[in-house]
Structure 1
Amino acid sequence: MGLALLLGVFVLGLILGVPVAVTLGVASVAYLLEAGIPLVTIPQKMYAGIDTFVLLCIPGFILAGNLMNEGGITTRIVRLAQAMVGWMRGGLGLTNVAASMLFGGVSGTAAADAASIGGMMIPGMKKAGYPVEFSAAITAASSTVGPIIPPSVPMIIVGTLSGISVGKMFIAGALPGVLMGVAMMITAWIIAQRRNFPRQPWQGFGELGKAFLGAFWAVSMTLLIIGGMLSGFATPTETAVVASIYAFVVGAFIYRGLKLSAVPRILIDSAVSAASILLLVGLANVFGWILVSERIPQMIAETVLSITTNKYVVILLINLVLLFMGMFMETIAALIILFVPLLALAQGVGIDPIHFATFAVLNLMIGLTTPPVGVCLFICAGIGRISLAQITKAIWPFLLTNLIVLMLVSYVPFFSTWLPNLLSN
């Protein structure tokens, strides 16, 4: 009865569009009241869920991304991307994807990418003669690369849940992220050729050099983050703090786009963003604790393994579950609730934990661009002033491309394990 009440309230909340954090909390309270368990369990389990040193990465990287974005990073990254690929047919579409790949190394979140890049690229592409549906769709699709390429908030959550090194998780996402970005650029180029989209003139190596120098300090932030962790010089949390200081210095004194008067507002915005994520983590931990106490992870693993022990079939089933849940749930909540039981299932058929974690995150990133709860779809549709139906129709070629990449990453462990294994030797 208690489990049915928990899941019933949770599903009802999702259907009604209640924020996921609130839905998790209300469902957990309903279960505890029905089971006669003291409600003091909620703050206890919430605290246990966020009492992890590595989670301090989250406010650090959010602050670093906000400081760099306020300091003028978006403009410089778009300029570099346009100098590199803007001269091709459909060049602004390719620029959009390339900018997301570069920006992902700073923000670590898809929503920040969609809002920052989209706010500049969608109106610019529309003005240059691109269909607004295509412009919004490619922005939404490419924004999902951000949380795959390091730094990545979902990868931090995964490392916390599994005990896998966050540094290794960051590195594991690098190659799949690049593969995903290149695949979307090829898709955009094919669409541009067929629909005869505009092309920009080649601006010359001089412009390419100037654009690179202009974006050098922004792109170097990714190297700082990865280098700090791989060298063992700093933990992920310490690296996030260093990245924030670096972002402040670059934005205020090198790019000179960051005004000191804006710093208090940025600090408050970053604190609110980090608090909302950590609140979600805490409430999802309560929900997850209830599922574990009801033996749901073991039941899932036992049920699937009683049907098949074929690793490739299990990978397909895991992908289907994650893709479906990604259509309705926020990424971090889905990870906290589903990751542990699915990891146990994956390990039961011999799947490497880093490999599993990488394609699990990739699944949920794709979910950000699928209706009915695709956050990036709503952001880009809002910027482009088009309906959800219009952007959903236009994004299908990119969704198909990302699903092909997902299958490659899922069934070829090399893409996610080669770099971590190479750099750890």
Structure 2
Amino acid sequence: MTVTVMAIAIALLIALRIPIAFAILGPCLLYMWTSGQSVGLAMRTATGGVNSWPLLAVPLFILVGVLATRAGIADRMFALALALLGRLRGALGYVNVGVSLGFSWMNGSALADAAGVGAIQVPQMVKNGYPRPFAIGLTASSSVIGPIMPPSIPAVVFASVAAVSTSALFAAAVVPAFIIAMLLTAFVWFWARKREDLRSVRFSWREVGRTAVAGVGALLAPVVILGGILSGFFTPTEAAAVGALYMLLLGFLYRTLTVRNLPRVFADAAVTTASIMVILGASALLGWILARERVPQTLAGLFLEISDSPIVFLLLVNVLLLVLGAVLEPTSALVIGVPVLLPVAVQLGIDPVHFGVIVVLNLMLGLLTPPIGGVLFVLSSVTRTPVAEVFRGVAPFLVPLAAALLLVTFAPGLVLWLPGVLGL
């Protein structure tokens, strides 16, 4: 069985909606059998792919996100942001971006952000006179900040697959996340600049104080999680464990979590973790096969025949990953694409950490595009809006997101500045 036949088989199984882990694992096992390799080797390779200390951060960060959602962190952030920004024209648009930015420090999943924050903000925006497509489109677009800003689950997966520093990748993603937030804020300003009707509440120091006191625990979460990582006090895995404990304590303090809730919380985190780990195990076997068949070297030769320019390569990678992200969920796209593309990038002199941020950002944009775009379906369910209408709301916001992607791609200094300052 050749790699070409195996690739066609994987593509057909994915098209038939076979779960991605089994769509990869089945043809890989068939390859091992037909090429005379043992099933034991296949199993050791697959299990070895998830037997990784950095990957221990994945279930813990997932648990942080689930606990943050159940503890009502987004509600408290929304109240504080509204008290601070409510007097501005288009205030709820700025609040939308601000809450997603704040929530992203605790939750590395765009789907969780869209579900948790979207359920609060879209009805509020519509109630206050914002067009439903605009409210849904902004909520969907701001949700991609979550997997960019650390702690980011896709970044942990990339770091494991690519064997790069998770801390460096986390630090590199901070500036791009703020760039996305600023460009979305500028878009909201441009859209709302003549809408005098879009003012929500009068400014009140008393209200700011009340909501700040209520949300002080949530505001300290980034200090605990990201501050511990960037200061070197915690490894990302240790920070994930501390963050989960902190969220658990907040939930009990706010009385939004009880001991009776915990089995459901842990079950939700376990199900999500299991689906990711099975994919990673299958992808480890796929990576071994690709390396054995020298696919990265062959692909490098093809790219270098087109051009040996890093700029041309990155443009081609952006197009490829945008297409890949539109038809695969991010973890699957990461584990399929990174082992093939990263060696070429390194050969062309592209920093692996910079490349990692580019890959993650591309795949997050895929969550906003049909046919698979997960955020579209989540917001469709949360807001009871047809998926096609959700995408029509999202489409205008793809312009600032594409601008952010180009900045991140062709200005590596923006990405690598913070890791350099921190010595990562």
> Which category of TM-score, normalised to the shorter sequence, fits these structures?
over 0.9
Structure 1 residues 342 and 197: alpha-carbon distance in aligned structure 2, compared to 1, 3 A threshold: farther
- TM-fit CA distance, 1:195: 7.0
5+ long unaligned stretches in structure 1: none
- Report the more deviating stretch, 319-328 or 224-233: 224-233
- TM-fit CA distance, 1:401: 0.9
Structure 1 residues 252 and 323: alpha-carbon distance in aligned structure 2, compared to 1, 3 A threshold: same
For 1:229, the equivalent position in structure 2 comes to 229
- TM-fit CA distance, 1:21: 2.0
- TM-fit CA distance, 1:402: 0.5
1-side partners of 2:83 and 2:168: how far apart?
32
2-side partners of 1:200 and 1:84: how far apart?
11
* Counterpart amino acid of residue 365 in structure 1: M
Deviations 1:352-380 (A, max 9, x none): 22111111111111111111111001111
1-side partners of 2:182 and 2:237: how far apart?
30
2-side partners of 1:388 and 1:306: how far apart?
41
Deviations 1:216-270 (A, max 9, x none): 21132122122222333222211111111111112212x2221121112211211
Structure 1 residues 308 and 39: alpha-carbon distance in aligned structure 2, compared to 1, 3 A threshold: same
2-side partners of 1:242 and 1:98: how far apart?
24
1-side partners of 2:138 and 2:304: how far apart?
39
Q: How does 1:2-401 map to 2 (within 5 A)?
A: 2-193=2-193, 198-253=198-253, 255-401=254-400
- TM-fit CA distance, 1:202: 3.0
Structure 1 residues 305 and 132: alpha-carbon distance in aligned structure 2, compared to 1, 3 A threshold: same
Kindly indicate whether the alpha-carbon contact (under 8 Å) linking 1:297 and 1:340 is maintained by their aligned counterparts in 2: yes
2-side partners of 1:368 and 1:196: how far apart?
33
2-side partners of 1:392 and 1:36: how far apart?
48
* Counterpart amino acid of residue 18 in structure 2: V
- TM-fit CA distance, 1:300: 1.1
1-side partners of 2:283 and 2:127: how far apart?
43
- TM-fit CA distance, 1:131: 2.5
- TM-fit CA distance, 1:40: 3.5
Kindly indicate whether the alpha-carbon contact (under 8 Å) linking 1:136 and 1:391 is maintained by their aligned counterparts in 2: yes
Structure 1 residues 202 and 99: alpha-carbon distance in aligned structure 2, compared to 1, 3 A threshold: same
| Local SS of the residue matching 1:107 | coil
* Counterpart amino acid of residue 68 in structure 1: A
- TM-fit CA distance, 1:155: 1.0
- TM-fit CA distance, 1:197: 6.5
| Local SS of the residue matching 2:179 | helix
- Report the more deviating stretch, 370-379 or 129-138: 129-138
2-side partners of 1:127 and 1:387: how far apart?
19
1-side partners of 2:236 and 2:172: how far apart?
15
Structure 1 residues 94 and 14: alpha-carbon distance in aligned structure 2, compared to 1, 3 A threshold: farther
Structure 1 residues 84 and 182: alpha-carbon distance in aligned structure 2, compared to 1, 3 A threshold: farther
Kindly indicate whether the alpha-carbon contact (under 8 Å) linking 2:65 and 2:109 is maintained by their aligned counterparts in 1: no
Structure 1 residues 31 and 82: alpha-carbon distance in aligned structure 2, compared to 1, 3 A threshold: farther
- Report the more deviating stretch, 173-182 or 200-209: 200-209
Moved over 4 A (4+): 194-197
Kindly indicate whether the alpha-carbon contact (under 8 Å) linking 2:105 and 2:226 is maintained by their aligned counterparts in 1: no
Kindly indicate whether the alpha-carbon contact (under 8 Å) linking 2:128 and 2:200 is maintained by their aligned counterparts in 1: no
Give the percent of matched residue pairs that are identical in Structure 1 and Structure 2. 36
Kindly indicate whether the alpha-carbon contact (under 8 Å) linking 2:84 and 2:203 is maintained by their aligned counterparts in 1: no
Alignment RMSD (CA, Å): 1.9
| Local SS of the residue matching 1:106 | coil
Kindly indicate whether the alpha-carbon contact (under 8 Å) linking 2:80 and 2:208 is maintained by their aligned counterparts in 1: yes
Kindly indicate whether the alpha-carbon contact (under 8 Å) linking 2:105 and 2:221 is maintained by their aligned counterparts in 1: yes
- TM-fit CA distance, 1:410: 0.6
Structure 1 residues 36 and 222: alpha-carbon distance in aligned structure 2, compared to 1, 3 A threshold: same
Q: How does 1:408-423 map to 2 (within 5 A)?
A: 408-423=407-422
- TM-fit CA distance, 1:63: 1.4
Kindly indicate whether the alpha-carbon contact (under 8 Å) linking 2:133 and 2:393 is maintained by their aligned counterparts in 1: yes
| Local SS of the residue matching 1:327 | helix
Deviations 1:16-38 (A, max 9, x none): 33332232223323433444544
- TM-fit CA distance, 1:110: 0.8
Kindly indicate whether the alpha-carbon contact (under 8 Å) linking 1:134 and 1:391 is maintained by their aligned counterparts in 2: no
Deviations 1:324-350 (A, max 9, x none): 111111111111121132221112221
* Counterpart amino acid of residue 270 in structure 2: A
Structure 1 residues 258 and 321: alpha-carbon distance in aligned structure 2, compared to 1, 3 A threshold: same
| Local SS of the residue matching 1:309 | coil
| Local SS of the residue matching 2:250 | helix
* Counterpart amino acid of residue 413 in structure 2: F
- Report the more deviating stretch, 62-71 or 28-37: 28-37
